[in-house]
Chains A and B, each alone.
Chain A
Amino acid sequence: DGGITQSPKYLFRKEGQNVTLSCEQNLNHDAMYWYRQDPGQGLRLIYYSQIVNDFQKGDIAEGYSVSREKKESFPLTVTSAQKNPTAFYLCASSPGTGGWSSYEQYFGPGTRLTVT
């Protein structure tokens, strides 16, 4: 089955530790995205990548880092510099090949990160 996987579903870390969230897609999509969602709020864009080996900062990139070494993988590292890391993290991908459907984003199930 084609889709996007994120692991783990729940993650607990101590303050001061870096943590890396996994995102893998087998949809052959060019573009991938990371969002953060806080309770009762919408999604905020952290980083996005429209092609392998290239990525751009979104609206709230401070304290996060990403890599895009393979088309199917876009891991997100939450560093100790992120002041309020506890949140629901969502990864998405879109075809990015031109045409209206290029921008239709499909989401993974998300990772709930709790930092204490």
Chain B
Amino acid sequence: RKEVEQDPGPFNVPEGATVAFNCTYSNSASQSFFWYRQDCRKEPKLLMSVYSSGNEDGRFTAQLNRASQYISLLIRDSKLSDSATYLCVVIPNTNAGKSTFGDGTTLTVKP
């Protein structure tokens, strides 16, 4: 089993739809969690940190469920420009430098 797992998709949704991605992790001692966005053939860009209490940034909401060991990303009112691959990152509290990325979930928003 991989340390961090994501549904690869692709998720194909119409504009205006709400879409959610999950990311499960196996190390219960993980302490920090992030979502990144990666456009085709570009570097990943930080989208959101995932706080214990959950957090929201405009149309994006990130949540952490420690009991079930997953984080989620919800995108409301999808735009064409949201089309990208979304990567989750998990960092253990035993070694903060050794982050693990998921393989990513691909989202395509269609007109």
B is a partner of A: yes
Binding site for B on A (CB under 8 A): 31, 33, 35, 41-45, 48-50, 56, 58-59, 88, 90, 96, 100-110
B100:A45 contact, CB within 8 angstroms: yes
Q: Are B49 and A90 in contact (CB under 8 A)?
A: no
The smallest beta-carbon distance between B39 and chain A, in angstroms, is 12
State how many residues of chain B have any CB contact under 8 Å with chain A. 22
Quick one: which of B28-76 are within 8 Å of A by CB?
32, 34, 41-46, 49, 51
Q: Tell whether, in the assembled complex, residue B98 and residue A45 are in contact, meaning their CB atoms are under 8 Å apart.
A: yes
Q: Which of B34, B44, B45, B49 contacts A43 (CB 8 A)?
A: B44
**Which of B43, B46, B51, B104 is within 8 Å of A100, CB to CB?**
B51
Q: Is the CB of B44 within 8 A of A103?
A: no
Q: Is the pair A42, B101 in contact by a Cβ cutoff of 8 Å? A: yes
Judged by DSSP, the binding face of B is loop
Residue positions of B touching A, CB distance < 8 A: 32, 34, 41-46, 49, 51, 87, 89, 91, 96-104
CB distance from B69 to the nearest CB of A (A): 18
A104 contacts which of B42, B43, B46, B98 (Cβ < 8 Å)? B46
Q: Nearest Cβ in chain B — how far from A55, in angstroms?
A: 9
Q: What CA separation (Å) do A69 and B104 show in the bound complex? A: 33
On whether the beta carbons of B42 and A33 are closer than 8 Å, the reply is: no
In the assembled complex, the Cα of A98 lies from the Cα of B32 at a distance in Å of: 12
| Docked-complex contact A102 and B96, CB < 8 angstroms | yes
A37 to B86, CA, bound (A): 14
B32 CB → nearest A CB, Å: 5
CA distance A58 to B32 in the complex (A): 18
Known: A43-B101, A88-B41, A107-B45. 13 other contacts (CB 8 A): A42-B103, A44-B101, A50-B97, A56-B97, A90-B43, A90-B44, A100-B32, A100-B49, A102-B96, A103-B99, A107-B44, A109-B43, A110-B43
